[in-house]
Amino acid sequence: MPGEGRSLPAWWHPLADNSAKVRADQLSRFSPPREGSGRESAVLILLGEGLDGASRPDVLLLERAHTLRNHAGQPAFPGGVSDPGDGGPVGTALREANEEVGLDPATVDIVTILPAIWLPPSNFVVTPVLAWWHAPHPVAAVSPTEVARVARVPIAELVDPANRLRVRHPSGHIGPAFDVRSMLVWGFTAGLLSALLDLGGWSRPWDRARIVELPTPRSPE
């Protein structure tokens, strides 16, 4: 929840109110398996403002290193697998963000914990943690072997119809995607972003017939 003496900006209110009552099936078509059968993990959906001096919301994304064996080069939220000492998804999300991009947890207020989502290919049960970056500071890839780069992406760019499309996975599944900041955001991350835009009341009409094939990822050297 927002820290003592701090309140959320006006643009946060619809998102905070709607996220508090969102259902798992509004975020993903995959419900988590029975308790204890998936790998617990968490991601941090961190929204701030003030990028380039503008009072407009933005979200923190990273691009995974192209040499990784799993999810190489894929844009994502900061996050990862839970450790026993994390004390829950909030601890996991903040620890991973600190390790990946150098985020100071003291600059973050937790707004809500969203329903967990299951990722069948990896058997991860991912809990998204929605947070307000009340005191943004410079962040960057802490370990280039894990993170290629970090970007704060304005919500205005995500809702721009010119930046929205859908991608067809080799499996045949077609899902939402975003072409922003020289990144093709797809999969789990794009699905959450798309839901986020709807919950915040930011979505604009866009061409859902614009479908591209998912590029083949580069093999690690």
Helix (H), strand (E) at residue 110: strand 108-113
Average pLDDT per run of 10 along the chain, which is 221 residues long?
Answer: 79 96 88 74 97 91 76 85 95 97 97 91 89 97 91 97 96 94 94 96 97 71 38
Cα separation, 64 vs 101, whole angstroms: 11
Which of these, 83, 79, 20, 58, lies nearest to 159 by C-alpha position?
58
Show the domain range for 84.
12-158
> CATH number, domain at 69?
3.90.79.10
DSSP secondary structure of 90-104: HHHHHHHHHHHH---
**Does residue 70 fall inside a structural domain?**
yes
Give the model's pLDDT for residue 96. 96
User: Considering its fold, how many domains does the chain have in total?
Assistant: 1
DSSP secondary structure of 80-91: EE--GGG-SHHH
Give the model's pLDDT for residue 103. 98
**Does residue 130 fall inside a structural domain?**
yes
